[in-house]
A = this chain, B = another copy of it.
Amino acid sequence: MTNVTTAAADPTEPGTPAPTRQARGEQTRQLILETALRLFRERGYAETTMRAIAKEAGVAVGNAYYYFDSKEHLIQGFYDRNQDEMRVASVRVLADEKEFAARLRGVMHVGIDVNGPYHSFAATFFKYAAEPSSPLSPFSSASSPARDASIAIFRDVLDGSTVKLDPELRKELPELLWLGWMGVILFWVYDKSPDQRRTRRLIDGAVPLIDRMVSLSRLRVLRPALRQILALIESVRRDD
C-alpha cells in the first residue's frame, strides 16, 4: 500500500455504485480495526503506535479516534471475535458428548485452543482487562453481554448433560463454572510453559474434581455444607 496518494482529495468516481454514507463510515471503521489487529499480531500491542495504524490504513490519526475512543478500545474487537469463536467451537464439542465432565473439559480445552495463538498478545493487554474501571474488565457492565454469552455456554454444558445434582446448586453452577473459567484464563495468562501445557493439566485435573463434587451435592449428609456454601455465595453477591 503505497501511501503517496492524497487519500482525502480523491473524488468518488461518478460511475461506481456509491455506497451509502453510513456504509462508508462502517467501511473505514472496519479498515482501521483490521489494520490495528493485524499490526498487534505482527508487532505486539505496545509496539504498535496509533500513528502506525493510521498510516498503514491510509487515514489520519484523528480518524481512528473518531471511531474508537482509545487504543484500548481497539482490543474490544479482538475480544468479541474470540468470544464468538469459542462459542461456535463449543457447539461442535457439545453435540457429541452427553457426560458432564467430558462436556466441561471439552469446552475448556476449546477455549484454550481458540486463544492459544494469541497467548503472548493476550498477556500484554491483559493488564487493561484487569483494571476494574476498564470496560474491558470481564466484570464490567460493558462486558455483561459477553459475560452472559459465556455463562450461557456453561449453562449449556450443564443442561445438556446427564448429571444429577442438587437443584439449588444447579441454579448457581453456570455462573460458578464461568468464574472457574476466569480462573483458568488467569492461570493461562501467567502460564509460561510450552504450549501452556500446565493449563491443560490444570483443566484435566480440576474437571474430575468438580464433577465429583457436583455429583456429591445430592447426598443428604453434605446438605448442610452445601447450604453453607450457597449462603456464602448469596451473602457475597449482595450489593451493600
Asked whether A236 is an interface residue with its Cβ less than 8 Å from the other chain, the reply is: yes
Q: How many copies does the complex hold?
A: 2
Asked if B212 and A232 sit within 8 Å, CB to CB, the answer is no
Asked if B123 and A133 sit within 8 Å, CB to CB, the answer is yes
Binary contact track A117-145/B, C-beta < 8 Å → 1, others 0: 00000011011101111100101000000
- Which of A78-86, A93-101, A188-196 touches B? A188-196
Interface of A, secondary structure class, is helix
If A190-B139, A225-B212, A235-B205 touch, does A197 touch B240 (CB 8 Å cutoff)? yes
Q: Which of B228, B229, B238, B240 contacts A194 (CB 8 A)?
A: B240
List, in ascending order, chain B residues with CB within 8 A of A137's CB. Answer: 190
Asked if A236 and B201 sit within 8 Å, CB to CB, the answer is yes
If A123-B132, A238-B198 touch, does A209 touch B232 (CB 8 Å cutoff)? yes
Asked whether A231 is an interface residue with its Cβ less than 8 Å from the other chain, the reply is: yes
Asked if B189 and A132 sit within 8 Å, CB to CB, the answer is yes
A231 → B minimal CB distance (Å): 7
Within 8 A of B (CB), among A204-240: 205-206, 208-209, 212, 225, 228-229, 231-232, 235-236, 238-240
List, in ascending order, chain B residues with CB within 8 A of A205's CB. Answer: 228, 231-232, 235-236
List, in ascending order, chain B residues with CB within 8 A of A132's CB. Answer: 123, 126, 189-190, 192
A189 to B137, CA, bound (A): 12
List, in ascending order, chain B residues with CB within 8 A of A193's CB. Answer: 239-240
Asked whether A202 is an interface residue with its Cβ less than 8 Å from the other chain, the reply is: yes
Q: What are 10 inter-chain pairs, A to B, with CB distance below 8 A?
A: A124-B133, A126-B131, A130-B130, A137-B190, A202-B236, A205-B228, A205-B232, A205-B235, A209-B228, A209-B229
Give the B-binding residues of A (Cβ under 8 A).
123-124, 126-128, 130-134, 137, 139, 189-190, 192-194, 197-198, 201-202, 205-206, 208-209, 212, 225, 228-229, 231-232, 235-236, 238-240
Other A-B pairs, 14, CB within 8 Å; known A201-B235, A201-B238: A123-B132, A124-B131, A127-B128, A127-B134, A132-B190, A132-B192, A198-B236, A202-B232, A202-B236, A205-B231, A205-B236, A206-B232, A208-B228, A209-B228
